[in-house]
């Protein structure tokens, strides 16, 4: 099966007014809260590791064994595209380095600083294959692979910083009451989240996602980080549609109206702590 990595790029390339089809699977595994910076770990005995740690947790992370990077040669108005293919292959065309950073670190342009201009102006074609053709099966693996590619071939170094800034709190519009379109997941539900936009309207379909994951997915649509303050437990299913650009002749209401009327939720402006990515070093790609 071919898996389009727009599922991760959703979230890395989509702007509400652009035509985009995105699929964000397994958000319930915590993409939005994942932090790729190294963390210290205590060393356990081999016996303890074998007894308490699942085998998958002790496996080495996936790495690209073969990577070819070339400046993109424009032949027309071809779109930027990124795909994960069978056999552990990743193919990108007309892709900027800023896009790769957004994917790897799950961040936005307005939460990234220290970037030289060429990471926006120059595009690259990339063809990469994992060691032993290991399959890329989760968004987390894909993000780790892209971060390693940036570090190995673009000499990418960064650190994270925090600052105060505007956020939204996702809250219940009326205490203890949800909207008609917000349903608790059934045992048959499978984790999934998709947003499809045609430029004038957007459709969001959610299955078996927590409120924290829903808040994380909505932040690109709302234009600022969103914190979950609903106190709703469990996972939920819903489908909503809204106007990406509200005009007098819009066929659909705004996102804020849809959230309130259909899901019983509201986005309350607030001040919060926003994590930013500071680029310490980035260079043109090393030779193939």
- Mean of the per-residue pLDDT values for the chain? 81
Percent of the chain predicted with pLDDT > 90: 58
Q: What confidence score (pLDDT) does residue 111 get?
A: 86
Lowest mean pLDDT among 91-95, 157-161, 162-166: 162-166
Does the model's pTM come out above 0.75? Answer: no
Mean pLDDT of 118-144: 93
SS3 string, the chain, reads: CCEECHHHHHHHHCCCCCCEEEECCCHHHCCCCCCCCCCCCCCCCHHHHHHHCCHHHHCCCCCEEEEEEEECCCCCCCCCEEEEECCCEEEEEEEEHHHHHHHHHCCCHHHEECCCCHHHHCEEEEEEEEHHHCCCCCHHHHHHHHHHHHHHHCCCEEEEEEEEEEEEEEEECECCECCCCCEECCCCCCCEEEEEECCCEEEEEEEEECHHHHHHHHHHHHCCCEEECCCCCCCEEEEEEEECCCCCCCCCCCHHHHHHHHHCEEEEEEEEEEEEEEEEECCCCCCC
pLDDT score at 30: 35
In this prediction, residue 60 carries a pLDDT of 67
Given pLDDT bands bounded at 50, 70 and 90, which one contains residue 55?
A: very low
Mean pLDDT of 26-37: 34
Q: What is the pLDDT of residue 137?
A: 87
Q: State the pLDDT at residue 8.
A: 43
Q: Give the separation between CA 199 and CA 210, rounded to whole angstroms.
A: 27
Q: Which residue has the higher pLDDT, 20 or 186?
A: 186
What tokens does 287 get?
Answer: 């030779």
pLDDT beyond 90 at 142: yes
Q: Has residue 5 got a pLDDT over 90?
A: no
Task: Mean pLDDT check: name the lowest of 6-10, 123-127, 181-185, 240-244.
Answer: 6-10
């Amino acid at each position: 099966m071919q898996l389009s990595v727009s599922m991760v790029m959703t979230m890395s390339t989509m702007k509400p007014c652009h035509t985009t089809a995105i699929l964000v699977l397994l958000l319930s595994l915590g993409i939005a809260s994942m932090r790729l910076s190294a963390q210290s770990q205590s060393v356990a005995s081999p016996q303890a590791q074998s007894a308490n740690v699942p085998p998958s947790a002790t496996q080495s992370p996936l790495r690209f064994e073969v990577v070819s990077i070339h400046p993109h040669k424009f032949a027309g108005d071809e779109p930027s595209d990124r795909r994960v293919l069978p056999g552990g292959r990743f193919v990108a065309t007309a892709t900027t380095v800023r896009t790769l950073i957004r994917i790897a670190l799950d961040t936005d342009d307005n939460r990234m600083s220290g970037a030289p201009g060429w990471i926006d102006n120059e595009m690259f074609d990339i063809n990469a294959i994992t060691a032993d053709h290991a399959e890329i099966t989760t968004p987390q693996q894909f993000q780790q692979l892209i971060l390693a590619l940036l570090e190995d071939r673009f000499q990418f170094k960064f650190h994270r910083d925090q600052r105060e800034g505007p956020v939204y709190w996702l809250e219940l519009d009326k205490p203890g009451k949800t909207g008609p379109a917000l349903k608790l997941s059934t045992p048959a539900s499978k984790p999934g989240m998709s947003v499809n936009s045609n430029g004038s309207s957007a459709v969001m379909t959610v299955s078996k996602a927590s409120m924290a994951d829903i808040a994380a997915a909505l932040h690109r649509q709302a234009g600022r980080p969103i914190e979950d303050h609903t106190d709703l437990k469990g996972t939920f299913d819903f489908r909503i549609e809204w106007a990406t650009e509200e005009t007098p002749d819009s066929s659909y209401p705004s996102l804020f109206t849809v959230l309130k009327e259909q899901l019983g939720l509201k986005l309350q402006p607030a001040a919060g702590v926003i994590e930013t990515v500071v680029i310490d070093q980035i260079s043109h790609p090393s030779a193939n």
